Structures are given as structure tokens and as C-alpha cells.
Amino acid sequence: MTLTQYYVASSIDGFIADPDGGLDWLMQFNDVEGVTQHYERFIADVGAIAMGSRTYEFILGEDLPWPYTDRPAWVFTSRELPTIAGADLRFTSADVADVHAEMVRAAGERNIWLIGGGALVAGFAARGLLDEIWLGVAPVSLGAGFPLLPVRIDTPMRLTDVTRFGDTFVELRYRL
């Protein structure tokens, strides 16, 4: 069964990016033992990706090769954005509910990764299309920025796993 998963990291006060959209606060944890291997296991089970336009532009701004060449990526945007040679990019302004079934078909037996941002993921959650949240928690406080999930979810989520990385970073996995 294909799962729709929000695999994300946030500050301890619930922000996925600083007020300028920066992630420097998070990148300092890239070398924490086990984080890279954990990500590689996660991404191996991903068959389709969804992201908002700011996340897409952030990735473009990193000036690195497109990291997801072996799977389709939907970019939810109302603007015209540059494409990347060799990338299977599908730009859309459609409602997430209208696109989700297409993403499930494209993912095959694998999962859908909602990279971000939080507002896009909130759209999936509001329509009952979010199955899991894999939340990395970085031990920093930003005080402001882009919120993790700007939508109210009153139904308690079920904690299914906790992974500790060294003495700084933890991941909480929730099932909706």
C-alpha cells in the first residue's frame, strides 16, 4: 500500500525554515551519525515526490544536480518556474486531491514523499491524504519562520517509532 509521508525536520519550536527560508540551522546536523543512512533507507521506498514552489526554488538555488532523477516530482505552483534537464517534473496548480491519485499510480508499490512546505502538506492533511509524519527534531529554537504544519489536526496521531541520532537529533514517526 502506498503511503503519503511528510518526511521533514523542524526546530524544537516547530519551524521548518527560518524567516528567510534558510536551512543553515539544520545543515549543521548533516554529519550526525546515522542521519544519512536513515535518509537513504527512507528515499529507497519513495516512488513519487510533491513539493511547493518555494521548496523547488530552494533546491534550484543549491546549484546541485537534481537529486530525484529516478522518480517523478510534482511541483505545486501558480507561477511559471524553470525546468531541469533530465528531471521528471510535473508543474501543477490543481488541488492536491485532484493530483493525489495520479501520484499514487506513479509511485507504484512505493510511497509518496511530501517534501514541503508546510502549507502544501496542510492541504494534503485537510483532505485526509496524509498517512504519516516522520519528524526530525533539531535541538535549536528559531523563534520565527515557516511552520511545520499550519493546519489544525485534532485527532491524536499514533506514535509508531522513535529514532535517536547521537546526543542531538531525534526522529518521531507518527501515523495519522
Q: How confident is the model over 4-35, as pLDDT tens digits? A: 999 999 999 999 999 999 999 999 998 999 99
What are the respective helix, strand and coil percentages of the chain, to the nearest 5?
Answer: 25, 30, 45
Domain coordinates in residue numbering, the chain? 4-170
Confidence label for 64 from pLDDT (cuts 50, 70 and 90): confident
- This prediction's pTM: 0.95
- Half-sphere exposure (CA, 13 Å, Cβ side) for 34? 10
- pLDDT tens digits, one per residue of 91-145: 999 999 999 999 999 999 999 999 988 899 999 999 999 999 999 999 999 999 9
pLDDT attached to residue 117: 86
pLDDT attached to residue 159: 98
Neighbours of 77 (CB within 10 A): 17
Any idea which architecture 4-170 has in CATH?
Answer: 3-Layer(aba) Sandwich (3.40)
